[in-house]
Structure 1
Amino acid sequence: MIELEVDSIRVSLLSPRRLVVLKELGTDRYLPIWIGTAEADAITIKLQNMPVSRPLTHDLIKSIIEELGANVSHILISDLVDNAEGGGTFLARIVLNLGQGSTEVDSRPSDAIALAVRVGAPIFVEETVMDRASIKPSPSVEAPSADVGEPHSEEDLSVFRDFMEGLEES
């Protein structure tokens, strides 16, 4: 398992979608994951310590877990499943300590991350997922990085560079 931290939330200028960018601790490898607007807002609100008048969904989940005497050990981005549209879907698990043991709960990565930032739990990713989906910025925009996962073609990298340039950090 590889530990990550939330690097940024990016906003697409062309669609309402958001991108959470996770960074591997101690390196310059990044894991970008598309997430919904509500989940992006929930993560941003907590990271920026913005006050809310009533608990948000992830605050409620945190309270329920705590009231039941459990705590979040960590979250794990456990898999990347290919889908028919040619993209992939990330899968995650929330690992709870229950006193006498632990249990894992299936989750969308966005919800797991929103919960993790609320409880201060570490965020992990399986090495195979990081190898498949991470990016490593090139020292130069023109030079592709080939030491992340499987080699990528210049065409793949230029599409990603174009995409990243079309995003704004929120």
Structure 2
Amino acid sequence: MVQVRVAGVAVDSMGQHVILLKPLSDAPGVGSIVPIWIGAQEATSILVAVENAVTPRPLAHDLMTVMLQQLEAQVTRVEVTRITDGTFFAEITVAHGDQVLIIDARPSDAIALASRVGAAIWVADAVIEEAGMPDILDEDDAEVSVDEFKRFLDEVDPEDFRG
């Protein structure tokens, strides 16, 4: 497993939202990025959490956070565990007293929740090997980086990750 951070959320040439996960150990512009296509609502929820934005009404992941707090449970980590036929799978680890619960989840929901509660996000080595792309994002030269990334999104397709 490799610990990652949310490097960003983008929109591909077909208008689909893509979350970009970057290993913490990789410097900007080197290593890999794992793109995961997600729904528009999940993309919004992740961006709200990552940017600490305030919404007029709680989103579903805000409700999950409050419910966990009220139940005195804690999300300790989330993991993107595997890819099967192009579909990513994740698990949320929740601690409640002496119990540790592993809950199956979509990666987008797991990441949105982790982003709210400050839980670590991990990606399985096999997922990075299969779905990782060279990191072309250069945070020092954002203009060039954005152009290169747009070209990348124009050329890549979610079908590229089907076994």
What TM-score range do you get, normalising by the shorter chain? 0.7 to 0.9
Which residue among 32, 35, 42 is the counterpart of 1:32? 35
Separation in 2, partners of 1:52, 1:161: 29
Q: How many angstroms does 1:47 deviate by?
A: 1.5
Partner secondary structure for residue 104 of structure 2: strand
Indicate yes or no: 2:4 matched with 1:4.
yes
Where does the alignment leave 5 or more consecutive residues of structure 1 unmatched? 83-87, 140-159
What whole-Å deviation, never above 9, does each CA across 1:97-140 have from its counterpart, x for those lacking one? 1111201111000000000000000000111111111112369x
Within 2, Cα distance between the matches of 1:162 and 1:89?
23
* Identical-residue share of aligned pairs (%): 36
Displacement of 1:95 after TM fit?
0.3
Contact conserved, 1:78 with 1:93, CA < 8 A, in 2? yes
Cross-structure match for 2:141: none
Amino acid at match of 1:33: I
Residue identity opposite 1:109 in structure 2: P
After superposition, residues 19-168 of structure 1 pair within 5 angstroms as 19-27=18-26, 28-82=31-85, 88-137=86-135, 162-165=151-154
TM-score by length of 1: 0.77
TM-score, with normalisation over the residues of structure 2? 0.80
RMSD, aligned α-carbons: 2.1
SS in structure 2 of the partner of residue 45 of structure 1: helix
Worse-superposed segment, 128-137 or 62-71: 128-137
Task: Quote the residue 2:142 is aligned against.
Answer: none
Q: Is the 8 A contact 2:13 2:153 kept in 1?
A: no
Q: Which has the higher helix share?
A: 2
Indicate if the aligned counterparts of 2:18 and 2:36 stay in contact, CA closer than 8 A.
Answer: yes
Moved more, 95-104 or 44-53: 44-53
Structure label with greater radius of gyration: 1
Could you tell me which amino acid in structure 2 is paired with residue 36 of structure 1?
G
Distance across 1 between alignment mates of 2:155 and 2:51 = 23
Secondary structure of the structure 2 residue equivalent to 1:21: strand
- Letter in structure 2 aligned against 1:106: D
CA separation in 2, counterparts of 1:68 and 1:108?
Answer: 22
Displacement, 1:161? 8.1
For structure 2, the residue ranges without an aligned partner over 5 or more in a row are 138-148, 157-163
Letter in 2 for 1:19: V
Q: How has the CA–CA distance of structure 1 residues 166 and 48 changed in structure 2, closer, same or farther, with 3 Å as cutoff?
A: farther
User: SS in structure 1 opposite 2:87?
Assistant: strand
Report how many residues are paired. 141
Task: Report the counterpart of residue 150 of structure 1 in structure 2.
Answer: none
Where 2:126 maps in the other structure, the secondary structure is: helix
